[in-house]
């Protein structure tokens, strides 16, 4: 065994800072994904034919190609095509936001369509307008189906976020590599951030379970 964590000590604050960098970028990407994803889901459910076709094609493309390819395309293609020198942060939130929008739109669509069709008919029969029906009757019920799946997406996104190290964005993963290179020891810093990722995911999982349990409880009340 040739493990030595003591050498790493001075670099620890630098690597811990990566937690916030990673979380910040995941949060922004998630926000973008949720906004666009909701819009896409509504297109799929009740949009006019061209918008529906667009949403379906969008989802198919972003789910059907590697995320790292989408990231590279945005990072390298934007400067080449437009001359605009896009920052790693901007490329990262764009790629991850657009990508998670595709997944989130499917989560929301499935969640809405799992609501009993009788709910729509009951609201229609009472003369409730479409928007009010969606907001007050359908979405609150769909939310219970959506939230657990959404938590999974947050976890996936947190892990996959390590991909942005490939374009030089200084997230947790990238910091481990930087530290590894300057100490000529890769193994220890990688193990260290690996542990951090695992703890993050565990925390998210626990939060998800708690939410799920609370939703179940409100079903029986």
Partner 1 sequence: MISVKGLVKSFGDLEVLKGISTEVDAGQVIAVIGPSGSGKSTFLRCLNKLEEPTGGTVEIAGFNITDKKADIRAARQEIGMVFQHFHLFPHLTVLGNLTYAPMKVRGESKAQAEEKARTLLKRVGLSDKADSYPASLSGGQKQRVAIARALAMEPKLMLFDEPTSALDPEMVKEVLDVMKDLAKSGMTMIVVTHEMGFAREVADRVLFLDQGKLVEEGTPDEFFSNPKTDRARDFLEKVL
Question: Interface with partner 1 by CB under 8 A: which residues?
Answer: 116, 118-119, 121-129, 132, 136-137, 140-141, 219-221
Considering the complex, state which of residue 145 and residue 158 has its C-beta at the smaller distance from partner 1.
Answer: 145
Considering the complex, state which of residue 17 and residue 136 has its C-beta at the smaller distance from partner 1.
Answer: 136
CB of 24 to partner 1, least distance (A): 34
Considering the complex, state which of residue 1 and residue 217 has its C-beta at the smaller distance from partner 1.
Answer: 217
What is the rounded distance in angstroms from the CA atom of residue 54 to the CA atom of residue 137? 27
CB of 94 to partner 1, least distance (A): 36
Considering the complex, state which of residue 82 and residue 218 has its C-beta at the smaller distance from partner 1.
Answer: 218
What is the rounded distance in angstroms from the CA atom of residue 175 to the CA atom of residue 17? 9
What is the rounded distance in angstroms from the CA atom of residue 203 to the CA atom of residue 187? 25
Cα-based torsion angle of the residue sequence 168, 172, 177, 178 in order, rounded to the nearest 10 degrees: 70
CB of 128 to partner 1, least distance (A): 6
CB of 130 to partner 1, least distance (A): 9
CB of 107 to partner 1, least distance (A): 19
Considering the complex, state which of residue 50 and residue 127 has its C-beta at the smaller distance from partner 1.
Answer: 127
What is the rounded distance in angstroms from the CA atom of residue 11 to the CA atom of residue 178? 10
What is the rounded distance in angstroms from the CA atom of residue 216 to the CA atom of residue 3? 46
CA 186 to chain centre: 28
CB atoms within 10 A of CB 9: 8
Considering the complex, state which of residue 17 and residue 116 has its C-beta at the smaller distance from partner 1.
Answer: 116
Alpha helices (H) along the chain:
12-46, 49-64, 67-72, 78-82, 88-113, 117-125, 130-132, 139-160, 172-183, 187-220
CB of 212 to partner 1, least distance (A): 17
């Amino acid at each position: 065994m040739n493990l030595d964590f003591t050498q790493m000590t001075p670099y620890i604050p630098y690597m811990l800072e990566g937690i916030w960098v990673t979380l910040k970028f995941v949060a922004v990407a998630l926000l973008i994904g949720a906004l666009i994803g909701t819009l896409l889901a509504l297109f799929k459910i009740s949009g006019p034919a061209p918008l529906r076709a667009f949403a379906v094609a969008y989802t198919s493309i972003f789910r059907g190609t590697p995320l790292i390819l989408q990231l590279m395309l945005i990072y390298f293609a934007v400067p080449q095509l437009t001359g605009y020198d896009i920052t790693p942060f901007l490329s990262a939130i764009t790629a991850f936001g657009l990508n998670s929008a595709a997944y989130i739109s499917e989560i929301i669509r499935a969640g809405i369509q799992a609501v009993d069709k009788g709910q729509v008919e009951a609201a229609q029969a009472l003369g409730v307008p479409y928007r009010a029906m969606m907001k007050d009757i359908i979405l609150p019920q769909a939310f219970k189906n959506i939230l657990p799946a959404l938590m999974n997406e947050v976890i996936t996104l947190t892990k996959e976020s390590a991909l942005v190290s490939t374009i030089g964005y200084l997230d947790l993963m990238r910091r481990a590599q930087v530290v590894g290179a300057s100490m000529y020891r890769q193994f220890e810093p990688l193990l260290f951030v690996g542990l951090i990722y695992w703890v993050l995911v565990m925390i998210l999982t626990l939060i998800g379970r708690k939410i799920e349990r609370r939703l179940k409880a409100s079903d029986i009340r």
